[in-house]
Structures are given as structure tokens and as C-alpha cells.
Amino acid sequence: MPKPPSRRKKATSPASTDSTSAANSANEDISQQVDPSSATITVSAVEVTELSQEEQSDRLHLERRVERAFFEAGKALTELRDRRLYRSTHKTFEEYCRDRFGHSRQQSNYLIAAAGVYENLTTIGCQNVANENLTTNGSQILPTSERQVRPMTKLEPQEQQEVWLRAVELAGGKVPTGRIVKDVVQRIMERTQVPNTYQIGEVCQIIVKDSPELRGKGGCWAIVSAVNDFSCNVKMWDGEYAVGLQHLKSFNYLPQECQQIQVICDRINRVYSRGLEESVQRFLESLGRLNRAYLTDLEEKVLGLVELEIGV
């Protein structure tokens, strides 16, 4: 009888044996895996070191510097403007601000006015009693940006203080946002609303009343160019401004006199915008303070000579 074919055993290399073993092991591991939804993730705790007393002091000092940044900028701009420290390189403060800081005179005026509000608020000590962990270190809650105080610049000092204290209260004892402050100001204005009776073209006198933005403009005439609810846009010898009603007083000029002042204003504006030397600017500023609706013969001649000189 023929012999049945012999069955050879297939040779297996150590490598294939290891591979098969590894695959089987992997299959076993997969079959024994726990449901991912019930898996536990272990996170190592990171120890947070407490600040030393010196570090706490440094932090407070740096936070104060950040908070006061816009105030310091406003105070510096005020001194630069009032002392005319820009005169060696620029003819006007507006040109200086644009070239040196990259912003308009209006932005500078915002900072100057905000610094005045900030300084006023520091006199009342807006005490914080709700939260001792504020960046102000619980001693005093004060504005940290210009936009927070911009809505208050047209208010009287006492009203500014009232608005800020109320805004801090609404913010839960924290530094309020500009929106909160604006809402509180609106309520104050509605409560004390006075009808705006000024008319376009009317000539008024500027009353400063501790307004940093109007500093140096006391007694100047201003021509109303737009009438708003609580303010007027006015045109003066050196540009246009938005002025609260409390800073205006009508000269009660006749319509013809108002037209004469408008003509004088236009002439001064054209000359002043050329940025002439200081002596000429001082002369133009003096015309901006006239409490009469006409120029004297001598004033007319000097202004005419200046216009002729620059080709206006």
C-alpha cells in the first residue's frame, strides 16, 4: 500500500512567532479595554506658589501704573499745550500731536479732559468695601481708561462724583465699563434736563467752569453751528468744539451783529490755519476774545496786512 503523503511542519521564524504573539497580545488588550466614557484621566497637580511680600508690592505698583496711564498722558499733554513746549518744532499743538503721537487734537482733548475727571474723583476717595481683591487693592476704585470717563467730561465735578459712585455700585463693586458710565450719565442728564434754547448762528461766550478741555478759552466768543440735546457745536477762532450748555452764555447780539462775527471768525480761521509765528497767533487769539461784534480800524488794518502777507 502506498504510504500517505507525509505532512511537513511549516517552519516558522522567530520573527514571525514574535509578530503573531504580539498581534494576539494586542487583540487581547483591545478585548479587555474599558469603555472610554468610564476611563479615568490622571492630571498631575501643579503647585501655585504664593507671592512674596515684595512681589505683592511690585504687582500693586505696576497695576497702579497701568491704571494711571491715561491720567499721566492727559496731565503731560495739558502741560505741553499750556506751556507751548511744542513751539520749537511745530507751529500748532494739533500738528505736534499728530506728528509726535500719531493722534488728532480731539484725541488729545479727550485725554486732557479725562485727566481732569480722574483728578476730581481722587478728591472724594471712592472707597471700595465690596471686594478687597481688586487691582486697586481695595483702597480706591478709580477709572482705568479714558473711555470710562469720557461721558462724564461735560458734567459738573459733583455730578461726576455722583455718576462714578453709582456706576461702581452697578458694576458690583468693580471698575465699571464705559457703557455703564454712559447709561448713568444719561439718567442724570434726563433728570436735570434743561431745554436747549440756543440757535444756529448765535454768538455765545465761553464759560470754563473747571473744564480742562476749555482751559484757556474763558471769555472767548463762539458761534453755534449745531444744537444738540445737552450741548452745542460751536465754531471759534481756532476750530470747532462740542460744548455743554453750562459752558455757554449768549451775548444776545442782533442778527446783523452775529453775521459780522461770523465774517470775522472765517477770516481769523483762514489766517490761523497757516500756522504763523507766535506774535501773529497771539494777535489772532486776542481777536477771539472780543466782546463786541466789530473790529476797530487798527485791528482791521493789522488783520488785513496779515491776510495780504499770506495771500488770503
The amino acid at residue 212 is P
Q: What is the pLDDT of residue 48?
A: 65
CA-to-CA distance for 264 and 261, rounded, in angstroms?
A: 5
Residue 288: which pLDDT band, with cuts at 50, 70 and 90? very high
Instruction: State pLDDT tens for residues 82-122.
Output: 888 999 998 888 889 999 999 887 788 889 989 999 998 98
Q: pTM above the 0.95 mark?
A: no
Of residues 65 and 126, more confidently modeled:
65
| pLDDT for 192 beyond 70 | no
Give bridge partners of residue 243 from the DSSP assignment.
232
Burial class (CB in 10 A: 0-12, 13-18, 19+), 177: middle
Quote the Cα angle for 123-214-81, to 5°.
90
Kindly state the DSSP code that residue 92 receives in the 8-state scheme: S
| pLDDT for 21 beyond 70 | no
Of residues 93 and 234, more confidently modeled:
234
Strand order in the sheet with 203-206: 239-244, 231-236, 221-227, 203-206, 248-250
HSE on the CB side for 139, CA within 13 Å?
Answer: 5
